[in-house]
Amino acid sequence: MTLLGSISTMLRQSSSALRRNVFRDSNKGYQPTATDNDIALQDLSNNRQFNQNEDFSRLRRNNKWSNDLRPHRKYYTISIIGLLLILYVTAITSLKEFTGADVPQCRSIYMYPSYARIDGFSKQFTPLAQKYHLYLYREQDKDQEPINNNHIQLNGVPILFIPGNAGSFKQVRSIASACANLYFDSKDSINNPTTQNVDFFTADFNEDFTAFHGQTMLDQAEYLNDAIAYILSLYEQSIDGKSYAVPESVIIVAHSMGGIVARVMPTLQNHVSGSVNSIITLSSPHAAAPVTFDGDILKIYKKTNDFWRNQFDNKDSFFSKNVSLISITGAVQDNVLPADYAAVQDLIPLENGFTTFTTTIPGVWTPIDHLAIVWCKQLRLVLSKLLLEMVDSTVPSKTKPLKERIDISKKFLLSGFEQFYNNDIAEKSSVVYHTGESTIGTNNFNMVPSDKPFIITKNTGFVENGKPHIIYIPKDLNAKFDFTLMTSGKKPTIKLCKNSMQIDCISLSEDILKIPRSTFTTRYPADSSLEEDNNPFTYYHLKHDQLTMYDFILLNNINNENFNDEDFVYASFNKMSETEKIDISQLHMSLYGTHKIVKSDETIIFSDLEFLQQYDALLSYTINIKSDTEKDGPLLFQPMIRQWIATPSESKWYVNIITHNNLEVNMHNVAPFIPVNISEPHSLHLNVLLPPGTSIKLEISINWLLTIKMLFIRYRLTIGSLPIFFIALVLAMQFYSFSETGKYESFSFTLSHILDKYSLVIFVGSLMLTPIANSNGIQHILYYLDPVKLNRPFILSSKNLFTNLYFLGIRNWAQAWIGLLFALMSLGFLWIISSAIKMVKYFVIRMTDAMYSSGMEQDDEFLNHKKLFDRKRMLTCILLIVAVIFYVPYQLIYIIATLIQAGTCVRIVFHKRKFNSIRNREYSNLENYNISLLILFLIVAIINIPVIIVFIHNLGINYETTFRSHHNFIAVAPTILLVSTNSTFNMPTFPKKSFDWFIAISLLGYLSFFSVIYGTRNLYFIHDIVNIACGWLFYGSVTDYMRRK
């Protein structure tokens, strides 16, 4: 309400300024009169005197002493700054390339796909069979033929692939091919005795635009529910289907918006209960809708999220006990969808799923773009192994129990360093050796001193393979120590043993982690990814409290027979390291940066640096590495850094950091519009892994270029909201001034005067809105005032999860400068549109001059006999409304109305130039009013175009049924009627300070308020407010016409 009051005060004071500027030093003989705001320009009988006044004003402008020049100069200055910022941000976004760990390193793949269309899935089974189709994937020379003697043969585990927005069903081929190759060619590498080959099904959605249209999302979910029921029935009919347990559920692998469709499916009535218990999504926006052009999408998100949360809140539900959801995102390289949106921590408990990044996944270690995530070689190898490890052919669900699936998923998809990673050695089963049963009980082993590091390299001397190494655990009660094992290649075996009456050992070999190789020859973490020539390093760490209950560590499978110069084995007890907390404010980091020196003695160290106040995902950093190492000879390996945050599980590795010493750091932590658990730490961590005898200096500062580049992906929707704040403000100011002066000023003139008087207020407000909108109390007020209420910042407050859904969604006041940046860019964007319209106006004038002699002094009979409607316009309005009701979406009619409005502007300029008479002032009012309205319509058209794309796409695929949504004619009828009356050169007027006048100003003021506070996350509702405002302006045109009659 305070913002609305400020807007009202701004309008009132700016109007006074406009009046002073409009009539300052004007000819005293000209006094415009108005009765009920009907301007009696006919009283200006002395046309020569009027033209003299115009010439006099023009002379004053040329002499540059008029005060009117000052606001124009300020407006152009601000606009040029905004334009330069647009060019600067666009150039950075387009030209600034990622470096180091952010460079994609996906490898090429080959496959031999074939697709069998399942024509039996017809209208008998789904009403959408005419629009969509179901396919079965078969890898040639691997999978069996789908049909044998006219009988379908299926004997695998059913998996359904769901493509994303504008995705093709053929995207299934990469993962499906990898599964077939792994199962049929390398089955022995699968550590799952109940594994089985898989049958990949996929849906052909004709590359539907799911992200733009809520009804399309519902159609796909409905179709897939029917498809799953049909698929399961096929296994009952299959000639081979009963060699195993007949499937009762289907695993889902989904890409992009397909992951949201997968979550929508259980909410529909045709869902078969228990038919889905495992979902893996690739770059799917679970946390927030990627675009907000269609209100139906926000409503579906709300309903779906509520359903899932309620299911998991009930610990006895099928979901809580059976359903897993794993969300994988491609990190910084996903330039279609912000990786922040893939988070699921606000939807499901950790026992049922998690979010991970491709930079985190062992053996992948690379960011992946939005499309490549379905075919990237390293990731598809991991996913195929994961799928075949989690299936269970012996049970109808065809998957292992929930806890086993989650544990397997963590093993394949997490780095292993996560705080919640299950590494409890107390749960491991032990093996008991009696004397004489094992080499442990004899002298056939190598005793390794525990007081110094155990290091094996090529130059150590031959180490016999098969002879175990025993390292006794120190029993110094006053010292706390950890144990570190690290190798450059082949994974050793490690056991933790007790030596009492009998030897009791537990095997830890399965817990040994893979980390990227870091040597002089490596540049990217993915250089040692899956199926690369370079082996990754292996790493294992035992904490002090894990060691105290045991007597010695047994290492085996170690030899240096085939070592090269870079290979090594390292094992040592180290002094227990503590996390070093670095508390530096964002302001200090922005101005001065910071530095940190990390050293290692004769042991490997894995130092953890926690930057307590560096948690904002909107900021990126540069780390410059300087080596202070004085050690003679080569290092055991090259230093490396692991960047990580706790939630979601994002890790990123930087290798060979002394050679490649300029690191760019960005993260997906506390992000705009994403739920944040305020009870959990969100600090940026840097794990510095150094070989013995190394010292490096880290110089950390803000990377402003990368920060600006990353703004685009998160704030693309802002182009449809913030400019409307200024447009609505200008329209309100124009009507306010028009009611007092009888003159409707131009868009540029009005905006220049607003900026002249209130630029400081606007720009300071754009800075202050960030901390204000992030205030808990203010958010409660804003939610109460929200007419939509589809975005609920406090719905998860009982779980300490909060979301800032207002203004730009920023949670850190230090990033308030982003609001000012977008305010300036919005003004630059409006200057571009205004200048483009002026260019069109110039060409119309030139064409008119070429067609008619200029200066024609005659009256315009069109204005004397104008009507509110004529038969042609009335019929056109009726036809457009009927088209909305029965066939086309109202968004298409809105675009047609915008084109008609543009044509009206051209006609007005044409008439004004053709009839250069005393009517010019009235034509100027009409011209300025219609052009301002056109600018508003053009911005709102951006919001409506995506739904039109979906409609045209449906027509393109010859889908014969009508568009199934957006047929509410009320959503566009007021706009149609207003544009029709505008085309007859009518103009709305409201008596000053009347109730009608107050409603008009309030509607435009509220449009301005809504667009800046709620607009980015509710773009579709801006259209609704504009439509209501059009209805009231139409009412103003009607009442004005009635008064004149």
Residues that are catalytic = 256
- Please give the Cα distance from 617 to 710 (Å, whole number): 9
Q: Around 395, how many Cα atoms within 13 Å sit in the side-chain half-sphere?
A: 11
Locate 527 and state its tokens. Answer: 């250089």
Chain position carrying tokens 């030209």:
95
Given a contact cutoff of 8 angstroms between Cβ atoms, the answer to whether 539 and 562 are in contact is no
User: CB of 949 within 8 A of CB of 212?
Assistant: yes
Cα-to-chain-centroid distance, residue 114? 33
φ and ψ at residue 1034, rounded to 5 degrees = -60, -45
CA 39/CA 989 separation, integer angstroms: 10
Strand order in the sheet with 580-582: 580-582, 605-611, 684-690, 640-645, 650-654
- In terms of Cα–Cα distance, which of 457, 563, 567 is closest to 517? 567
Burial environment of residue 20 by CB neighbours within 10 A (0 to 12, 13 to 18, 19 or more): exposed
**What single-letter amino acid sits at 995?**
F
* Alpha helix ranges (H) inside 543-620: 544-547, 586-591
Cα 394 to Cα 398, 403, 489, 510: the distances in Å are: 7, 17, 36, 25
Compute, in degrees rounded to 10, the torsion defined by CA atoms 337, 341, 343, 345.
-170
- CA pair distance 23, 77, nearest whole angstrom: 25
The residues with which 514 forms a beta bridge, in sequence order, are: 538
| Helix axis angle, 173-185 to 377-390, nearest 10° | 60
Task: Determine the longest span between alpha carbons in the chain, in angstroms.
Answer: 124
Please, which residues have CB within 8 angstroms of residue 122's CB and are 6 or more apart in sequence? 129
Distance, in Å, from the CA atom of 565 to the CA atom of 578, rounded to the nearest integer, reads: 33
In angstroms, rounded to a whole number, what is the distance separating the alpha carbons of residues 228 and 239? 19
The encoded tokens of residue 501 equal: 């009456």
For the chain, state the CA radius of gyration: 35
Return the structure tokens found at 597.
């020196």
- Tokens at 1009, concatenated: 């308020």
| Sequence-separated (6 or more) residues with CB below 8 Å from residue 790 | 295, 298, 299, 301, 302, 1018
In a 3-state reduction of DSSP, which class is residue 497?
strand
Angle subtended by helix axes 747-773 and 817-851, to nearest 10: 160
**Beta carbons of 766 and 820 less than 8 angstroms apart:** yes
The answer to whether the beta carbons of residues 910 and 841 sit under 8 Å apart is no
Kindly give, in sequence order, each residue whose CB lies less than 8 Å from that of residue 191, ignoring residues fewer than 6 positions away: 389
Contacts of 14 (CB under 8 A, 6+ apart): 733, 736, 737, 753, 754, 757, 758
Which single residue is written with the structure tokens 């209501």? Answer: 1028
Assign 302 to helix, strand or coil.
helix
